[in-house]
Amino acid sequence: MQKHRIQIEDLEGRHPGLTPGIALAYREAAEVCLARHHSSPTDLSIEHKSQVTGVAEWNPPDARTKRGWANETDATEAGAYCVALATIEVTGELVAISRAETRTGADYYIAPKGTQPTDLEAAYRLEVSGIDEGDASSVKTRLNQKIKQALRGRSSLPAIAAVVAFSSANVAIADAVQVEQK
């Protein structure tokens, strides 16, 4: 079976909504999370429209990076953004085009590759969630939660939900609107 290459490095070059600083921080966090359970390269089991396999190559984090991402919650959240964006770029041909602040953090907006947006009228809002420990069943539970959350009306934009489980190397992505209509 063909394996898709999931590139967690240089995200800023392919996702206009990411600054180099944020992209580097996300990559460091992803490497810390992956290194807790795997060695590079890591096979990822991806569910987005269909079941596919991806492979991510990454550098083991040094001690300083590990110390910098000692807070597991922060690392899992940032690492999940990195893996989710790198995956959705391959499986959905979508990239982050913008980032907007919210009261507690920030939301990413994604659109098809090559789009030169002058506004956010047609962009998708991305809901990302990370799990450090967890199997495919946990990913499914979390994905359902994320979809419900996305549908609860935080934005009238169509939303896409993504869940990344680092221990089991699972990534699940769903279009919140489509899933609800099924």
Partner 1 sequence: MTWAQHHQESERASAEAHLARRSGDLSSAKSLFDRAAEAELKAIALLDPASKPRTYGITAVSAAALLYKSERVAEAEIFAHSILSRADLPEFATDQLKELLQTIWNEQVQASAGVRFVPGQVTVSVDGGEVVRGGAPLDLIVERVQTIQSLFYRTAEFLKKLPLRRHGPATKPIQELCRPWLFQSVPGSYQFTVAIQGPAQGDMFKADEPEPRLVASTFMTILEGAATDPENALQNVVPDTEYRSTFLKLARNLAPTGRSFSQLEIRSSQGSGPVVLTQDSRKAMTRSIRQQAPVAVAGNQIEPTILRGVLRAVHLEKDWLELNVEDKLLHISGVGETLDDVIGPLVNHAVIVQAIADAKGAYVFRDIELDDGATDV
**Which has the closest alpha carbon to 86: 38, 16, 136, 15?**
15
3-state SS, residue 5: strand
Q: Exposed (0-12), middle (13-18) or buried (19+): which is 41, by Cβ within 10 Å?
A: middle
Pick the closer one to partner 1 by CB: 48 or 125.
125
> How far is CA 124 from its chain centroid?
14
Pick the closer one to partner 1 by CB: 59 or 155.
155
> Using CB under 8 A, which of the segments 40-48, 54-62, 124-132, 173-181 binds partner 1?
124-132
Is residue 182 within the footprint of partner 1 (CB under 8 A)? no
Is residue 157 within the footprint of partner 1 (CB under 8 A)? yes
> How far is CA 83 from its chain centroid?
4
Q: Which of 59, 144, 151, 179 binds partner 1 (CB under 8 A)?
A: 144
Is residue 17 within the footprint of partner 1 (CB under 8 A)? yes
Q: Which of 63, 73, 114, 181 binds partner 1 (CB under 8 A)?
A: 73
Residue 171 host element (H or E): strand 170-175
Q: How many CB atoms lie within 10 A of CB 111?
A: 20
Pick the closer one to partner 1 by CB: 12 or 52.
12
Q: List residues binding partner 1 (CB under 8 A).
A: 17-19, 21-22, 25, 73-74, 77, 98-107, 109, 117-121, 129, 131-135, 138, 141-142, 144-145, 148-149, 152-157, 167
